[in-house]
């Protein structure tokens, strides 16, 4: 997939060189049938999120935020490759007024439609395989998005800045985006804030410079990232930079929070998961610990999970484990969310086990004692949340983690840990499905696991025989 993008980029440049070389024009080709890209990618839970007809390879976001008025001004420069002959295409963006929109350097027409469709019509059709750019100047009040489960996401103002999270549909609240986890891209961030504030983002810190009372923080994420994992959380932070086994490490803590020792465990957690899951997948690691309890959750924003309060140890290691399962290895469609949350929850248990505390088996046994009549615990089954309101239901986490522990006990530790390592290695920076995981477990164990996974992932009742 990514290799093909490079080939297409070369093709596109080749075409430009030919056109400029003064060669006689070729005979007119058959008329190209340019058609609109689809306004959504048809995810079962969020069918209008993301857009068809192109792949984004890079976002360069230049942002300026004024906390006192909650005004965000931005320029997004997006590099993409057309996957069909495009007459027009959409990006996802909620609100904002747009003052300039260029496609490959030329003014383009645009219209707004629905909650978040930005419909862009370039002056000329874009041939399949062509690399093109979209530059958008926008400004306004960024949105707070309420999800089907009533939680909030997007750009959430805090007392000294903003808490910025995008799972599953908050990213269009602050930048124009192809908002689907399948369209991973690299990111550059340049974020201007009043001097004294710190703007955090994914990847490595390139620079921070202060002039005329404002500081510009430049971050670079050179590893592929699903758009929902981007952050620009900003505010008053004490930022500590260090190094974890060769990986640049950035820990930002809101100075209003009571000091705790838990963040000191971050390097050990990274090293521990590296030892069982394989190499740490990204160019940076860290944590952003804000005082934003109204949010009510933490998120595994890539390279630096963001926490709404000082996390406990289980929450810290849960989010770190997501760097392997969720961020590097990412679901293809949202109903497979157990591939993130079941794995991260089981990761809490194995951390506990390796610390000499409660073992994963004990976690499993205690939860398994939950009576079958407690349907709120056992349903929906983790492989089939049914509606987006249940995406982050407890069963996705707990029964999802129990599925992995039951698998571990069925196939044995040796096979189980090879499966986990291979899952991370084979799908690094990719997108996966539950069917692929089942297939991998069957190949390594030599067992027919269809019944096992059906009982654990898809049947609504408490599993009794597997």
The reply to whether 234 sits near Zn ion by the rule CB under 5 A is: no
Q: Is residue 226 close enough to count as binding Zn ion by CB under 5 A?
A: no
Q: How far is the CB of 345 from Zn ion (least distance, A)?
A: 7
Residue 393 Cβ, how far from Zn ion at the closest point, in Å? Answer: 12
DSSP state of 301: -
Instruction: Tell me how far, at minimum, the Cβ of 341 lies from Zn ion, in Å.
Output: 5
Instruction: Answer for the pair 58, 186: CB distance below 8 angstroms, yes or no.
Output: yes
DSSP 135-150: EEEEEEPPPEEEPTTS
- Reported as type and span, the H/E element at residue 451 is helix 450-453
What's the closest the beta carbon of residue 397 comes to Zn ion, in angstroms?
7
Q: How many other C-beta atoms lie within 10 A of the C-beta of residue 304?
A: 27
Nearer to Zn ion, 254 or 341 (CB): 341
Would you say 103 or 344 has its CB closer to Zn ion?
344
Q: Which residue from 359, 347, 263 is spatially nearest to 311, judged by alpha carbons? A: 263
Q: Given the rule CB under 5 A, which of 74-82, 127-135, 302-310, 336-344 is the region that contacts Zn ion?
A: 336-344
Cβ pair 231, 190 in contact under 8 A: no
CA end-to-end span of the chain: 37
From the list 39-47, 342-350, 352-360, 362-370, the region that binds Zn ion by CB under 5 A is: 342-350
Select 108 or 344, whichever has its Cβ closest to Zn ion: 344
Rg, the chain, Cα only:
23
- In angstroms, the Cα distances linking 306 to 229, 268, 292 are 10, 18, 10
**Do you know the residue count of the chain?**
466
Tokens of 359: 């073992």
Q: Which is nearer to Zn ion, 84 or 330 (CB)?
A: 330
Shortest reach from residue 322's CB to Zn ion, in Å: 6
Cβ-closest residue to Zn ion?
344
Nearer to Zn ion, 132 or 228 (CB): 228
**Interface size with Zn ion, residues (CB under 5 A):** 2
Shortest separation between residue 315's beta carbon and Zn ion, angstroms: 9
Query: Is 344 one of the binding residues for Zn ion (CB under 5 A)?
Result: yes
The answer to whether residue 320 forms part of the interface with Zn ion (CB under 5 A) is no
Q: What is the rounded distance in angstroms from the CA atom of residue 94 to the CA atom of residue 203?
A: 25
Footprint of Zn ion (CB under 5 A)? 341, 344
């Amino acid at each position: 997939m990514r290799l093909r993008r490079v080939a297409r980029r070369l093709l596109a440049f080749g075409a430009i060189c030919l056109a400029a070389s003064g060669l006689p024009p070729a005979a007119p080709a058959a008329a190209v049938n340019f058609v609109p890209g689809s306004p959504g990618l048809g995810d079962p839970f969020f069918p209008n999120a993301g857009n068809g007809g192109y792949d984004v390879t890079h976002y360069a976001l230049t942002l300026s935020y004024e906390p006192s008025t909650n005004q965000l001004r931005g320029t997004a420069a997006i590099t993409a490759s057309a996957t069909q002959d495009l007459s027009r295409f959409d990006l996802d963006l909620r609100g904002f007024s747009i003052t300039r929109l260029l496609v490959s350097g030329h003014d383009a027409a645009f219209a707004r439609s629905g909650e978040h469709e930005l419909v862009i019509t370039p002056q000329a059709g874009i041939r399949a395989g062509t690399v093109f750019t979209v530059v958008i100047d926008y400004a306004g009040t960024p949105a707070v998005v309420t999800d089907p489960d009533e939680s909030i996401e997007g750009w959430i103002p805090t007392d000294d800045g903003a808490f910025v999270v995008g799972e599953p549909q908050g990213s269009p609240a602050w930048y124009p985006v192809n908002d689907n986890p399948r369209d991973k891209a690299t990111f550059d961030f340049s974020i201007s804030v009043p001097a004294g504030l710190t703007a955090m983002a994914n990847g490595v810190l390139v620079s921070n410079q202060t002039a005329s009372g404002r500081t510009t923080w430049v971050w670079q994420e050179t590893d592929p990232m699903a758009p929902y994992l981007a952050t620009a959380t900003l505010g008053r932070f004490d930022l500590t930079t260090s190094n974890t086994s060769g990986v640049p490490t950035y820990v930002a803590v809101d100075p209003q929070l009571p000091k705790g020792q838990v963040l000191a465990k971050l390097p050990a957690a990274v090293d521990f998961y590296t030892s069982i899951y394989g190499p740490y997948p990204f160019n940076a690691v860290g944590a952003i610990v804000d005082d934003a309890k109204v949010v009510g959750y933490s998120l595994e924003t890539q390279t630096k999970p963001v926490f709404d309060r000082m996390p406990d140890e289980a929450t810290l290691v849960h989010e770190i484990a997501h760097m392997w399962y969720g961020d590097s290895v990412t679901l293809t469609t949202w109903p497979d969310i157990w591939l993130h949350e079941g794995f991260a929850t089981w990761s809490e248990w194995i951390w506990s086990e390796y610390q000499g505390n409660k073992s994963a088996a004990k976690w499993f046994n205690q939860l398994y004692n939950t009576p079958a009549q407690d349907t709120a615990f056992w349903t929906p089954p983790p492989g089939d949340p049914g509606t987006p309101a249940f995406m982050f239901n407890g069963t996705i986490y707990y029964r999802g983690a129990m599925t992995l522990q039951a698998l571990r006990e069925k196939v044995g530790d040796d096979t189980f840990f090879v499966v986990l390592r291979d899952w991370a290695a084979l799908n690094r920076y990719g997108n996966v499905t539950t069917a692929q995981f089942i297939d991998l477990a069957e190949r390594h164990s030599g067992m027919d696991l269809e019944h096992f996974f059906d009982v654990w992932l898809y049947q609504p009742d408490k599993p009794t025989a597997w």
